[in-house]
């Protein structure tokens, strides 16, 4: 498959489309990003890297980090995880409080903010220094020892994250948060602030395209069953309340973040990441979704 030619064509075509999205300015530090950035990277099953545009520039991965933390806890405690958080699509905005009331503090899935906060609580339970462990694990997956937290983004989220503070306290009232809300939010904002490039992200997610095996070390991180379930979660819940449309148009498991990143996998074939900061009304990268729809259409490849 001539992936470089395909990426070149997609980039040139999408860049001509009027981008009607908007940068996530409710996190002031993210609002400072150049809204015209656009990069795409694809890594095939032979570890060949193809890229175009701003694919080597780092950005805040935000909610994409939820896939990593969820998989870390899943690998640690197995199906006990699902006693604390569900695995159903939410149908509501990623920062919604609505469902928590009538579902008694059990978030619908780990990729909405409420669910990710429960996962953050579990990270504090199972790792002595969760921030350090998470960062080292991301560095291992992406094969990039320079990846780090962006402390300015952390601070920006701490100062403006009133809804997340409401969520974590509300969940704690149902006894589904064990640690102090401030500790949970501190870890959560750090995981979201991690900066990676499209190439880093595509490498990081190879484990999910490789049956739970980390390609570089050939070590088993997730069982085949766990990897299947993580991919199913990405398919159903990876794009907030636009997951159905993403499945309909793209047909790959994936995850987006409000930093403008989108990553997707085609099991046993490739991983692909796109970055473009301007988001559509559902919080997903406008150019990111346009790019991935074209990729699966042109290559005639999807999981369906």
- What is the reported pLDDT for 93? 62
Cβ pair 250, 292 in contact under 8 A: yes
Euclidean distance between CA atoms 209 and 47, whole angstroms: 12
Residue range 276-299, pLDDT digits in tens: 999 999 889 999 999 999 999 999
Average pLDDT over residues 259-268: 97
d(CA 241, CA 234): 12
Question: What is the chain's Cα-based Rg?
Answer: 18
Examine the pLDDT at 91 and tell me if it is beyond 80: no
The pLDDT tens digits of the residues spanning 132-146 come to 999 999 999 999 999
Mean pLDDT of 239-266: 94
Average predicted confidence (pLDDT) for the chain: 95
Does residue 173 or residue 89 have the better pLDDT? Answer: 173
Domains in the chain, ordered, with CATH? 3-299 (3.40.710.10)
The whole-model pTM stands at 0.95
pLDDT band at 89 (very low <50, low <70, confident <90, very high): confident
Query: Is residue 95 very low, low, confident or very high in pLDDT (cuts 50, 70, 90)?
Result: low
pLDDT band with cut points at 50, 70 and 90 for residue 240: confident
Least Cα distance to 224 among 265, 267, 253 occurs for: 267
What value, to the nearest 5°, has the Cα angle with vertex 262 and ends 5 and 92? 145
What pLDDT sits at residue 270? Answer: 97
């Amino acid at each position: 498959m001539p992936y470089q030619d395909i990426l070149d064509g997609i980039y040139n075509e999408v860049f001509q489309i009027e981008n009607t999205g908007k940068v996530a300015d409710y996190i002031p530090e993210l609002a400072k990003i150049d809204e015209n950035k656009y990069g795409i990277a694809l890594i095939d099953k032979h570890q060949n890297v193809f890229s175009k545009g701003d694919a080597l520039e780092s950005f805040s991965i935000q909610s994409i980090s939820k896939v990593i933390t969820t998989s870390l806890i899943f690998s640690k405690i197995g199906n006990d995880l699902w006693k604390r958080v569900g695995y159903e699509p939410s149908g509501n905005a990623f920062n919604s409080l609505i469902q928590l009331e009538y579902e008694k503090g059990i978030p619908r899935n780990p990729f909405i903010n409420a669910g990710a906060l429960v996962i953050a609580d579990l990270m504090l339970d199972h790792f002595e220094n969760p921030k350090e462990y998470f960062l080292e694990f991301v560095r291992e997956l992406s094969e990039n020892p320079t990846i780090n937290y962006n402390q300015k983004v952390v601070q920006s989220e701490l100062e403006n994250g009133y809804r997340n503070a409401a969520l974590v306290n509300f969940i704690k009232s149902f006894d589904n948060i064990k640690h102090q809300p401030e500790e949970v939010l501190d870890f959560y904002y750090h995981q979201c602030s991690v900066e990676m490039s499209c190439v880093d992200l595509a490498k990081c997610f190879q484990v999910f395209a490789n049956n739970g095996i980390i390609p570089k070390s050939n070590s088993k991180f997730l069982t085949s069953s766990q990897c299947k379930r993580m991919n199913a979660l990405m398919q159903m819940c990876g794009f907030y309340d636009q997951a159905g449309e993403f499945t309909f148009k793209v047909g790959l498991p994936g995850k987006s973040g409000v930093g403008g990143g989108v990553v997707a996998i085609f099991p046993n074939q490739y991983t692909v990441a796109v970055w473009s900061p301007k988001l559509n009304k559902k919080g997903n990268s406008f150019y990111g979704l346009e790019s991935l729809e074209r990729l699966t259409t042109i290559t005639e490849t999807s999981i369906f």
